[in-house]
Amino acid sequence: MYGKSAVKQKETARYKPHVKKGDSVVVLSGKDRGKKGRVLRVLATKGKAIVEKVNFTKKHTKPNPGKNVKGGILERESPINVAKLQVICPSCNEPARLGSHRNEDGDAVRFCRNCKADLNK
């Protein structure tokens, strides 16, 4: 049976998201399908990213006069699974599948499989 020996999911599992902060991406599925935005933050351990204007959720806030906070509904971006995102290549302006290769310094460089241009610059 399960119980004590149940395998814990490691929160620290190292994903290697194909998206990076500052990338332009398009959303492939979900309610924001087709939306484009810039990656604001990548949550690598969760395999998620926060994308500008994508996956807005409403958050109700209480007024707090001491901190000069007005009550109301705040809309904020929520993290979205990186698997739902596709990077838009800055060279050919198309949503692109990415590959990676190593440059002369041994660093992994992502490149666009459409036009073969490198993305990290």
List residues binding Zn ion (CB under 5 A).
89, 91-92, 96, 112, 114-115
CB of 94 to Zn ion, least distance (A): 6
Q: Return the bridge partners of 41, or none.
A: 50
Which one, 41 or 113, has the nearer CB to Zn ion?
A: 113
Sequence-ordered strand ranges (E) for 12-95: 24-27, 36-43, 48-51, 56-61, 72-77, 80-81, 85-87
CB of 71 to Zn ion, least distance (A): 46
Which one, 82 or 111, has the nearer CB to Zn ion?
A: 111
